Structures are given as structure tokens and as C-alpha cells.
Amino acid sequence: MTTTNSKTTTNKRIGLIQMSCVPDTAANLDKAADRVREAARAGANVICLPELFRAQYFCQREEHALFDTAESIPGPSTERLSAVAKEEKVVVIASVFERRAPGLYHNTAAVLESDGSLKGIYRKMHIPDDPLYYEKFYFTPGDLGFKAMKTTQGDIGTLVCWDQWYPEAARETALRGANTLFYPTAIGWHPTEKAEYGEAQYSAWQITQRAHAISNGVFVGAVNRVGHEHGDVVHDGVEMRGPGDHTPQSGLEFWGGSFIADPFGRVIAQASHDKEEILIAEIDLKLQEDTRRNWPFLRDRRIDAYNGITSRFLD
């Protein structure tokens, strides 16, 4: 299903691939390539896939064998998607489990240019460690800092999932020139908590990213996966079963809800919670200029007064 939201004046069209993931890593890569091609042919110029789309969300447990699913950059995922980017003349953001060196791994977003070249990478800076989100076991925190990349389709910044809760990350990426922030994401409900906390959790997730759009005067695209996963992975013929009893009350239910917000914080396109969708919205960069003129937050920042922000806590 493709959902498109249009405006009469446009500078570019951004596309978010909200997809479900099966255990087979090869099948997920095939699906991702097909969905990118579909989004491009629906008119998207910059297309973002969800976090770690090549596998079910395996960080639900700590298992050394899962490091075998990591790949180099360039590698199988970036090479496959670079070919699609070149063929369709679009920019693609692909989230990869990066093998940097023996024993050194990152959660990395690769930006692929419309000519198929690798424009650059961003390594996830904030790494969570929560029940069923045991990412510190797998990922070394990023060491490239926050980045804005000048692409043929505009100046974009990519942050990854847990980064989306940190205003500092959005601010610095915007200050480096990004006019659109993309957040590839894998976030969901613990099934036993959904009834009590589910609506509030999703609301908080969306609100904090809309706030980044407002306070920085940028567009935001947050893309999530959908489906109930137990973290089962099949890679190169090796099956690695996820934890738990695989009942509906175990694992994670990814809440979808991918959305695109404008610099005023308005949601201009939003996906469902339970379906695969390609979300496309036209964005007008003149709106960024107009919004920043009327809400001159960057002008009025007290950059002389923020030294404490680099402290862990101010006692």
C-alpha cells in the first residue's frame, strides 16, 4: 500500500518504507530493494528504510552467533541497494549491522547517492540497554559525531532510533545544515504492557520527534517496522531462534506509525500501526525558511550560556 500526501509546491518528495521482517535475511533484503524501487516509481526522491531491516530485531537476546549476520560497508546490503538507487536515480538511507573490524560492530545508517555511490555513513550514537533491547551487547557507540550530508536531493541528517529521544542530537545535526532529519527505527510494545501504556508510549515517541522539528525548524521523517517478532533469524542457512516461548504475550509488537512532520511540527503524513506501507510526502523547503523567520529559535539561542550541557549532571 502506498500513501501519498501532496502539496502544490514542492522541492522534493521523501519516502518511508514501513515494512515487516521475516527470519530470512535474504528475503528481507529482497523486500527492501523491491519497496525502494516501488517508492521511487511513486515519485519519492529520498527513501529511508527502517532500522536493521535485514533481520528480525535480534537484540531481544544476547547471542554471539548473531554477530555473523553483520556486514561490511560497502557490503551485500549497500551494494544491492546502491544498484537500485542508481537505477531509479534516488537517494537511499539503509540501516546496517556494520562489521567494522573483528569484534567491532556498529548500528550504522548508510546514505547512498542517486548515482549509486556511498555518500557517507552515520553510526548510532546512543545505544540502549533495556529488556528486549539489549543493544549494548552488539553495538559500539558511534564515533563519527552528528552529520549532515549534502546529497543531490538536499541536505539530510540521519539519526537512529534511540537517538530520537535526545534533543542534543537533533540540534547538532540541524546546526550542521540538515533540513530534513530521518530516524530509521525499530520500536514496539511489550505485549503485556500495551493495554496500559501503549497509547502513551507511541504518543511520547511521536511528540518528542515533532518537537525536534519545531525547535530546529526542520522536516522529520520517522520510519518504523510493523509486526510481532521474537527475533528469529535465518542467515546463510543457519537458523537462530529468538528467546521465550513464542506466544502472543512474548516478543515485541512493533507499532509502525511512521510519520513525516513539517517544521511547524504538523504531521503531514502518517502510517497505520499494523500494515506495511510506503509513506510519501512532498516537502517545500520554502516552508523551512518561512517558519524559521517567524520562530527564530536559532537566532535567539544563548550559545554563551550552555556550557553545562556537556556535563553528566549539574549538582
Asked whether the beta carbons of 29 and 239 are under 8 A apart, the reply is: no
Q: Mark whether 21 is an active-site residue.
A: no
Please choose, from the candidates 103, 11, 115, 96, the residue with its C-alpha nearest in 3D space to the C-alpha of residue 49. Answer: 96
Which residues have C-beta within 8 Å of that of residue 143, sequence separation ≥ 6? Answer: 123
Asked whether the beta carbons of 45 and 119 are under 8 A apart, the reply is: no
Task: Please tell me which residue in 161, 172, 277, 282 is annotated as part of the active site.
Answer: 161
Q: Which residue shows C-alpha cell 546512543?
A: 126
d(CA 32, CA 111): 15
Question: Omega into 128 within 30° of 0, i.e. cis?
Answer: no
Q: Mark whether 51 is an active-site residue.
A: yes
Task: Please tell me which residue in 51, 63, 98, 113 is annotated as part of the active site.
Answer: 51
- Report residue 179 as a C-alpha cell: 533540513
Q: Mark whether 161 is an active-site residue.
A: yes
Q: Which residues are part of the catalytic machinery?
A: 51, 124, 161
